[in-house]
Amino acid sequence: MKAVTWQGRRDVRVETVPDPTIQEPTDAIIRVTSTNICGSDLHLYETLGPFMGQGDVLGHEPMGVVEEVGSAVGDLKVGDRVVIPFQISCGSCWMCDQQLYTQCETTQVREHGTGAALFGFSKLYGEVPGGQAEYLRVPQARFTHVKVPDGPPDERFVYLSDVLPTAWQAVAYASVPQGGTLVVLGLGPIGDMATRVAAHQGVGRVIAVDLVPERLERARARGVEVIDLREHDGADLAETIRGMTGGRGPDSVVDAVGMEAHGSPGAKLVQDVAGLLPSFLTRPLMERAGLDRLHALYSAIDIVRRGGTVSIIGVYGGMADPMPMMTMFDKQIQLRMGQANIKRWVPEILPLLTDGDPLGVEQFATHRLPLDQAPEAYAMFQKKEDGCVKVVLKP
Domain positions in the chain: 2-162+341-394, 166-337
What is the four-CA torsion angle of 295, 300, 306, 308, rounded to 10 degrees?
Answer: -150
Q: What is the pLDDT of residue 322?
A: 74
Task: Report whether pLDDT(7) > 50.
Answer: yes
pTM summary value: 0.91
Asked if 26 and 365 count as a contact pair (C-beta separation under 8 A), the reply is: no
More confident residue, 321 or 181: 181
Q: pLDDT band for position 318 (50/70/90)?
A: low
Distance CA 360, CA 102 (A): 27
More confident residue, 286 or 338: 338
Distance CA 2, CA 14 (A): 6
Across 10-24, 190-204, 306-320, 341-355, least confident range:
306-320
Measuring CA to CA, how many Å separate 88 from each of 77, 103, 332, 394? 18, 10, 35, 23
Task: Report whether pLDDT(290) > 50.
Answer: no
Q: Under CATH, to which class is 2-162+341-394 assigned?
A: alpha beta
Is there a shared CATH topology between the 2-162+341-394 domain and the 166-337 domain? no
Tens of pLDDT along 101-135? 999 999 999 999 999 999 999 899 999 999 999 99
If you average pLDDT over residues 40-52, what whole number do you get? 82
Asked if 90 and 101 count as a contact pair (C-beta separation under 8 A), the reply is: no
Task: Report whether pLDDT(21) > 90.
Answer: yes
Q: pLDDT band for position 258 (50/70/90)?
A: confident
More confident residue, 59 or 296: 59
Which residues 6+ apart lie within 8 Å of 87 measured at CB? 101, 102, 104, 107, 115, 116, 117, 118, 144, 339, 341, 342
Spatial CA neighbour of 389 closest among 208, 267, 231: 208
Distance CA 113, CA 383 (A): 32
Asked if 145 and 26 count as a contact pair (C-beta separation under 8 A), the reply is: no
Q: What is the pLDDT of residue 356?
A: 86
Q: pLDDT band for position 232 (50/70/90)?
A: confident
Percentage of the chain lying above the pLDDT 90 cut: 79
Q: What is the pLDDT of residue 317?
A: 65
Distance CA 29, CA 137 (A): 5
Beta-bridge mates of residue 87: 118
Count of other CB atoms within 10 angstroms of residue 371 = 20
Segments in the chain forming alpha helices (H):
39-46, 94-97, 163-174, 189-200, 213-221, 234-244, 265-274, 279-285, 295-303, 325-331, 342-354, 374-383
Q: What is the pLDDT of residue 325?
A: 87
Q: pLDDT band for position 374 (50/70/90)?
A: very high
Asked if 158 and 189 count as a contact pair (C-beta separation under 8 A), the reply is: no
Using CB atoms within 10 A of its CB, is residue 66 exposed (0-12), middle (13-18) or buried (19+)? buried
Amino acid occupying residue 49: G
Domain 166-337 carries which CATH code? 3.40.50.720
Tens of pLDDT along 332-362? 999 999 999 999 999 999 999 988 899 999 9
Q: What is the pLDDT of residue 319?
A: 60
* Enclosing H/E stretch for 28: strand 28-37
The three-point CA angle 354-357-360 to 5° equals: 140
Task: Report whether pLDDT(264) > 80.
Answer: no
Task: Report whether pLDDT(137) > 60.
Answer: yes
Asked if 202 and 365 count as a contact pair (C-beta separation under 8 A), the reply is: no
Using CB atoms within 10 A of its CB, is residue 382 exposed (0-12), middle (13-18) or buried (19+)? middle
Q: What is the pLDDT of residue 285?
A: 47
Distance CA 117, CA 242 (A): 40
Length of the chain: 395
Q: What is the pLDDT of residue 122?
A: 86
Task: Report whether pLDDT(269) > 70.
Answer: no
If you average pLDDT over residues 159-179, what whole number do you get? 98
Distance CA 82, CA 149 (A): 8
Task: Report whether pLDDT(272) > 50.
Answer: no
Using CB atoms within 10 A of its CB, is residue 221 exposed (0-12), middle (13-18) or buried (19+)? exposed
Distance CA 174, CA 336 (A): 7
Task: Report whether pLDDT(300) > 50.
Answer: yes
Q: What is the pLDDT of residue 17?
A: 98
Tens of pLDDT along 54-64? 999 999 999 99
Q: What is the pLDDT of residue 291?
A: 45
